[in-house]
Structure 1
Amino acid sequence: MKNNLYLRAFEYSDLNLLNLIRNDDILFQSTLGNKYYISSEYDKKWIEDKIFNNSNQLYLVICCKGIDEPIGYICVTNIDYINRKAEWGGFVISREFISKGLGTDAGYLLLDHLFGELGMNMVYAYVKEDNKASYRLSEKYGFKKDGLIRDFVFKQNRFHNAYIFSMLKSEYEELQLREQETSIS
């Protein structure tokens, strides 16, 4: 399935999709981020920041081959090139493409890039305790649950706990090897 997708840098032409996704109340509920009302002018500046000020973050647009249109975005933040680690920021997909496995596949493309191209040794993620889909997805990717952080974020008028997950490059390479062996046999 990964062959049906590609990742690319943000362009100003992605503004409409981005603004639609970032203002979607249903998508917002599962994230750790706080609710902001985001104007298209604000998102234009946000895209500009992702284009020109990306030394410790990587925001990429997810596109389907064939239709060559963006369907969402994926990101990592807090990239630390000295200690070779990065924080998985997750992905957001337009509602019409949810539950088709495209976000999952985009995640594998990003992990390939982080471990293979950028030389990261560890990728870590925070997952809201009640976000069962992200919890399962983190495990599917091969992340290990390291613990629970209590009252991690204040959102929707209350505090929420979050799990912290991590994956080492050696663990990812081991998963890739097993996947290759399975596809050969």
Structure 2
Amino acid sequence: MNFLLTGKLCYLRILTVEDAEEMVQLLVRNKEYWAIFEPKHRDSYFTAAVQREKIRESIYQARENREYSFGVFENGSDKLIGHISMYSIKRLPFLSALVGYSVDESYIGRGIATEAVKLIVAFGFEKIQLHRIEAYVSPRNTGSVRVLEKAGFENEGLLKEFLHINGVWEDHYHYAILEKDF
């Protein structure tokens, strides 16, 4: 289970337990920034022990072809600058999955998130043989909306009060890309 997806700006690699400390640093650096659009995490989430367990679980899920969690690494420096996952993988009659991602605040606006999404979409269609890949995004998250649209996703509608974030039920757009449009 050693997938490496390489782009011009970044590469994606399945996280290993050895990445737990660096993942904690990434999470702590972006705690406030990512909290704007993500559900709140307990303090224990920001520990190496919890991250090691999450990585172990994601490795198991990948072996079962249910989920693939990648670190986003900067080309050249090999620094962990984000994470991206393909999860909720469904087999026939759906052949679909969801994508979620986050990039270090200091790296936004450089095209890295767009490239990472394009890499994981190619992985989903070419390696996992999916028909459809979906993503949910807050209408307030204009940067992420641009990422999805640049990666070929289309807005399929608004999901009212879809996700509970910071004590409030928030609407989310439902984006998708089909294999034939890839």
What CA RMSD, in Å, does the superposition of the two structures yield over aligned residues? 1.8
Task: Please name the residue that 2:56 is paired with.
Answer: 48
Give % identity: 21
2:145 maps to 1:135: yes
Among 20, 27, 46, which residue is 1:15 paired with? Answer: 20
Q: How many residues are paired up?
A: 170
Structure 2: stretches of 5+ with no match in the other structure: 1-5
By percentage of residues, which structure has more helix?
1
4+ aligned runs moved over 3 Å, structure 1: none
| 2:99–2:134 CA contact under 8 A, matched in 1 | yes
State the Cα deviation string for residues 73-99 of structure 1 (Å, max 9, x = none): 11111001322100112x222233222
Q: Distance in 2 between matches of 1:13 and 1:93?
A: 20
TM-score (norm 1): 0.83
Instruction: Please list, as runs of the form range in 1=range in 2, the aligned pairs for 1:17-166 lying within 5 A after superposition.
Output: 17-23=22-28, 24-31=31-38, 33-37=39-43, 38=45, 39-54=47-62, 55=64, 56-82=66-92, 83-89=94-100, 91-166=101-176
Residues 111-151 of structure 1 show CA distances to partners (whole Å, capped at 9, x for unaligned) of 11111111111001111121111122221211111111111
3-state SS of 2:13 partner = strand
d(CA) in 1 for partners of 2:163 and 2:24? Answer: 23
- Looking at CA atoms only, which structure, 1 or 2, has the larger radius of gyration? 1
* Structure 1 CA distance for aligned equivalents of residues 22 and 84 of structure 2: 13
Q: Are the counterparts in 2 of residues 121 and 168 from structure 1 also a CA contact under 8 Å?
A: yes
